[in-house]
């Protein structure tokens, strides 16, 4: 999220909305937004199992969490690109998203 925040002005110039979603509680989400000075919207309190079922994100049943998933959604609501990762490598990064959207 910090990478997207660092590049938020570029997204805003292109009229691109950045949104994050999390299973974190309100308090955890608030802590994250304050810690990293996040200015874009963050959904919180999502059910990991349900979100996994809806998005295909990897679900760790033993520890009840989902791994990172990132989506680029077009103006028509169609998913233009989806990235799933079980580690920190392979996640969407701001510059790649800006380049992809600029095509």
Q: What is the mean pLDDT of each run of 10 residues along the chain (103 residues)?
A: 96 95 94 96 95 93 92 95 88 95 82
**Token pair listed for 67:** 């791994």
CA dist., res. 19 & res. 99, Å (int): 18
72-101 pLDDT tens trace: 999 999 999 999 998 878 899 999 999 999
Task: Look at residue 103 in the predicted model and tell me its pLDDT.
Answer: 67
Q: Please tell me the predicted confidence (pLDDT) of residue 91.
A: 92
Kindly state which CATH superfamily the domain 2-102 is placed in. Glutaredoxin (3.40.30.10)
Q: What is the pTM of this model?
A: 0.86
């Amino acid at each position: 999220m910090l990478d997207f925040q660092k590049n938020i002005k570029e997204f805003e110039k292109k009229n691109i909305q950045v949104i994050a979603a999390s299973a974190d509680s309100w308090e955890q989400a608030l802590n994250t937004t304050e810690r990293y000075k996040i200015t874009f919207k963050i959904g919180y309190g999502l059910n990991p199992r349900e979100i996994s079922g809806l998005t295909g994100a990897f679900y760790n049943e033993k520890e009840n969490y989902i791994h990172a998933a990132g989506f680029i959604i077009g103006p028509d609501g169609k998913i233009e690109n989806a990235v799933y990762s079980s580690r920190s490598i392979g996640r969407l990064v701001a510059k790649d998203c800006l380049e992809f959207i600029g095509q």
